[in-house]
């Protein structure tokens, strides 16, 4: 049996923190994947009595909470130590009732990182808006969210 790498433990720790985050823990939202380079994560939310709305589909608040901190957490890993990163705003559009298990993929690509790095160098702060689609098991889009993340140098006033 091989040794567990420090990076594997770090990713396991971040998945655990996502899964123990109270809005996720109590809504049964689960982080099921974090990429080794922190540029991709996948979360799932399952319909249950804790997440069901009056119409029997997924509660919109649970879907909304599912989109909130993920990009900020990923960016904090990609820009470690010297930056403050948080979700500044979010907007969600509910497109169809969510039934069963839904999932969302969160990605940060080279274009996103380059734009953030450029803005940080020029202004000392940056904002980037990410699109997140929440899909059901058939791949149908249940909700679409735009999440804006704010980044600044840690020691800036």
Tens of pLDDT along 78-98? 986 688 999 999 999 999 999
pLDDT band at 125 (very low <50, low <70, confident <90, very high): very high
Domain presence at residue 109: yes
Asked whether residue 127 is domain-assigned, the answer is yes
125 domain residue, yes or no? yes
- In a domain? residue 135: yes
Q: Cite the DSSP H helix spans in the chain.
A: 6-20, 22-27, 60-67, 70-78, 110-123
88, part of any domain: yes
pLDDT tens sequence across 69-80: 899 989 998 986
Number of domains in the chain: 1
Domain that holds residue 72: 6-153
User: Is residue 1 one of the residues assigned to a domain?
Assistant: no
Judge residue 138's burial from the number of C-beta atoms within 10 Å of its C-beta, 0-12 exposed, 13-18 middle, 19 or more buried: exposed
> Within the chain, what is the greatest distance between any pair of CA atoms?
50
Say if 57 falls within a structural domain: yes
Tell me the pLDDT band of 21, cut-offs 50, 70 and 90: confident
pLDDT, residue 88, reads 94
Write the CATH number for 33.
3.10.129.10
């Amino acid at each position: 049996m091989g040794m567990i790498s420090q990076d594997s433990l770090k990713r396991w720790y971040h998945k655990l923190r996502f899964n123990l985050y109270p809005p996720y823990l109590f809504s049964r939202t689960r982080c099921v994947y974090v990429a080794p380079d922190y540029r991709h994560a996948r979360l799932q939310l399952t319909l249950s009595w804790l997440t069901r709305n009056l119409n029997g589909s997924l509660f919109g608040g649970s879907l909304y909470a599912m989109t909130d901190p993920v990009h900020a957490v990923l960016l904090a890993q990609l820009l470690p130590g010297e930056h403050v990163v948080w979700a500044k705003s979010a907007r969600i559009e509910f497109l169809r009732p969510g039934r069963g298990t839904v999932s969302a993929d969160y990605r940060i690509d080279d274009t996103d990182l380059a734009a953030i790095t450029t803005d940080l160098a020029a202004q000392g702060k940056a904002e980037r808006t990410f699109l997140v689609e929440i899909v059901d098991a058939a791949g149908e889009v249940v909700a679409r969210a735009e999440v804006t993340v704010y980044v600044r140098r840690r020691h800036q006033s």
